[in-house]
Amino acid sequence: MRLFGAIFRALWVVVVATIPSLLLPSASQGAVEFALIIGAIIGMFTFFEYGSTTPGFVDFRYAPPYNRFRAFTIAMQVVTITLVCRAVELGLSDSVLVNWAQQAAQMLDFKYSPVSMAIDSILSDSRFSDTTAILLVYSITTSFVIGVGMTFAFALILWVFAWPRDRESFNLWANLPTFQPSNEGSIPKRLRRDAYFNIVLGVALIYALPFIPTYGFDWLTVDIFENGQVMVWAATLWVFIATSLIARASAMLKIARILSRAQG
């Protein structure tokens, strides 16, 4: 059963990794092959991680639906952003997804909005074509709405329902292999501290990551985002990395609360 699950997850990773190159009209054959190679590498890591009987690097392997939520979120981001970009590239400006992305971009266009700041930062380079600028706005907006919305939904499920389901057999080390408390009595306190750090880091990354291509690799900015596949993944990972940290923090706070109650 473990082997079957590992194979399924690995195939899921490969499929998600190749979606932009398969669906975008601007994607070349070389791009498809490159996406398959990257997907295969990540898929192999996923297979060995979930096929192993000992914990490795993935948190909450034995506490579903934590990782299922993460897999579904990134898949939903990639598919939706790709479909929006595909519609724009094909000139389907009146499609439902494009209209939705346009309205969402208008709603999130306010002062200190992460979406607005990300768009202004990247589009400060006047060399972008009009089509690329539109794709950037829609991609960033779509990624943010889906990523943040799914994270709030997951946090709500986490706290409203009995998660983790099998609390008596819950193994902290197996589900948080990188967590190293100094002593047993400080586990809830350390979990809370790490959770708050993850929240702060996640929020900071939402604002900071869009400035990296502008200030760190200004000479590459236009060349990077003119590639539709790179744009899809850049917009996806911008939000996914940050919201994954916040989701992890929410799970850690729930575990800390359970342990505190158990200790009296």
Digit-coded pLDDT (tens) for 171-184: 888 888 888 766 55
Q: Which residues in the chain belong to E strands, given as ranges?
A: none
For the entire predicted model, the pTM comes to 0.90
Q: Report helix, strand or coil for 26.
A: coil
The DSSP secondary-structure symbol of 173 reads H
Q: Residue for token digits 């408390």?
A: 181
The span from the CA of 229 to the CA of 22, in Å, is 10
Residue at 87: amino acid letter = A
Tell whether the model's pLDDT for residue 253 goes beyond 90. Answer: yes
pLDDT band at 151 (very low <50, low <70, confident <90, very high): very high
Is the pLDDT at 70 greater than 70? The verdict is: yes
Tokens of 190: 């350390």
CB contact at 8 A, 92 and 33: no
The whole-angstrom separation of Cα 72 and Cα 244 is 12
Residues 6+ positions from 163 with CB-CB distance below 8 Å: 63, 157, 251, 254
Distance CA 194, CA 211 (A): 26
Please answer whether residues 73 and 150 qualify as being in contact, where contact means their C-beta atoms are separated by less than 8 angstroms: yes
